């Protein structure tokens, strides 16, 4: 098989197009670190970028592998899942997953050495959530918990850690001695970062919610009982609409509290295309036609977020 074909299949297996959900929170975290706190660490940022992206690819690959392995619907297994479509070796795909996991672990451990030992615990929690999201007897993605975990771990967790790479001394540190361990936690700054991440939490949760709504029939056939199964399609659409409003409310709050400059209010012009996108998705939930609206909404807001912080940083 030609190398370019192998690369294309690999990128499909790890669903590289979906990595925006981890890259944007990371970029926004880096921007807040430079803009609000006035410091940035290029080495830690580069190491963190590699660790996050490879782990994100790893969890997506696990998801595709487990969907193939546990598939009850033969048509899905052969004609829709990437492993079945390309007739890939399941054992070889497991090898790819372990390689990606190994790369992420190595870079994460280097970051622990460069920052604080508490990162080891936080990283371990992220790894456990990421792996349990798709792997094990009761994967989180097959339960009505996917939206919560994906939103908080990627929207808040990645953004917090991106800032932590530079600001760990001001957020969460530990002092170890023979008799005791002293942990210093700045809850005020952590709460501030949580507010900064709220728009991303909402929009990433919406991507998962839209995906599960579009896949409801297929998920039931494959014994995946997500949140949509329990609340119904109409309530899922309503929840999607509510989550779509939250980012703009927080954007106004950030401007009102002077975390962002007043000219950031120009971002509200994007409410018009954002609203139209929400309306298109609300009208019909078809994977190949309208699921992309949830991704568009996220990318549009995240790009505005990044550009606003970048311009604010340059003009500061």
pLDDT, one tens digit per residue, over 131-140 is: 777 666 667 7
Q: Shortest CA distance to 13 belongs to which of 76, 129, 94, 73?
A: 94
pTM score: 0.89
- What number of residues does the chain have? 316
What's the rounded Cα separation, in Å, for the pair 229 and 216?
7
- In this predicted structure, the answer to whether residue 270 has a pLDDT above a threshold of 80 is yes
Average pLDDT over residues 9-30: 89
Distances (CA, A) of 159 to 24, 108, 110, 200: 9, 16, 19, 9
Q: How many CA atoms lie within 13 A of 100 on its CB side?
A: 24
Report the largest interatomic distance among the alpha carbons of the chain, rounded to a whole angstrom: 63
At residue 136, the pLDDT reads 64
* CA torsion, ordered 288, 242, 306, 255, to nearest 10 deg: 160
Please give the pLDDT value at position 30: 95
Query: Beta-strand (E) ranges in the chain?
Result: 172-176, 181-185
CB burial string 282-295: b at 16+ within 10 A, e below? eeebeeeebbebbb
- Flag whether pLDDT at 119 surpasses 90: no
Is residue 170 scored above 90 in pLDDT?
no
Helix axes 118-132, 42-70, angle to 10 degrees: 30
State the pairing for strand pair 172-176/181-185.
antiparallel
Look at residue 143 in the predicted model and tell me its pLDDT: 75
In Å, how far from its chain's centre is CA 278?
20
Tokens of 261: 């400059």
């Amino acid at each position: 098989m030609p190398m370019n074909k192998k690369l294309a299949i690999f990128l499909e297996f790890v669903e590289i197009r979906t990595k925006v959900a981890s890259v944007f929170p990371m970029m926004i975290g880096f921007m807040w670190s430079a803009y609000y706190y006035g410091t940035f660490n290029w080495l830690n940022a580069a190491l963190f970028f590699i660790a996050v992206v490879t782990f994100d690819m790893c969890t997506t690959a696990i998801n595709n592998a487990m969907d193939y392995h546990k598939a009850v619907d033969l048509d899905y297994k052969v004609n829709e899942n990437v492993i079945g479509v390309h007739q890939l070796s399941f054992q070889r795909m497991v090898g790819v997953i372990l390689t990606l996991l190994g790369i992420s672990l190595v870079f994460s451990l280097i970051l622990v050495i460069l920052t604080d030992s508490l990162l080891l615990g936080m990283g371990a929690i992220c790894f456990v959530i990421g792996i349990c999201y798709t792997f094990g007897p009761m994967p989180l993605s097959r339960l009505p918990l996917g939206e919560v975990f994906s939103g908080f771990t990627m929207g808040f967790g990645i953004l917090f850690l991106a800032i932590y790479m530079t600001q760990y001394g001001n957020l969460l540190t530990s002092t170890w001695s023979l008799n005791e361990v002293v942990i210093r936690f700045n809850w005020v700054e952590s709460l501030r970062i949580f507010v900064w991440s709220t728009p991303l939490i909402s929009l990433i949760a919406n991507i998962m919610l839209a995906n599960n709504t579009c896949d409801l029939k297929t998920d039931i056939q494959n014994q995946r009982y997500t949140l949509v199964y329990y609340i119904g399609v109409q309530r899922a659409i309503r929840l999607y609409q509510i989550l779509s409003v939250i980012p703009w409310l927080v954007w106004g709050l950030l401007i009102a509290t002077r975390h962002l400059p007043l000219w950031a209010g120009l971002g509200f012009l994007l409410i018009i295309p954002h609203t139209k996108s929400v309306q298109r998705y609300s009208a019909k939930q078809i994977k190949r036609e309208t699921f992309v609206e949830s991704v568009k909404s996220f990318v549009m807001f995240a790009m505005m977020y990044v550009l606003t912080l970048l311009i604010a940083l340059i003009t500061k």
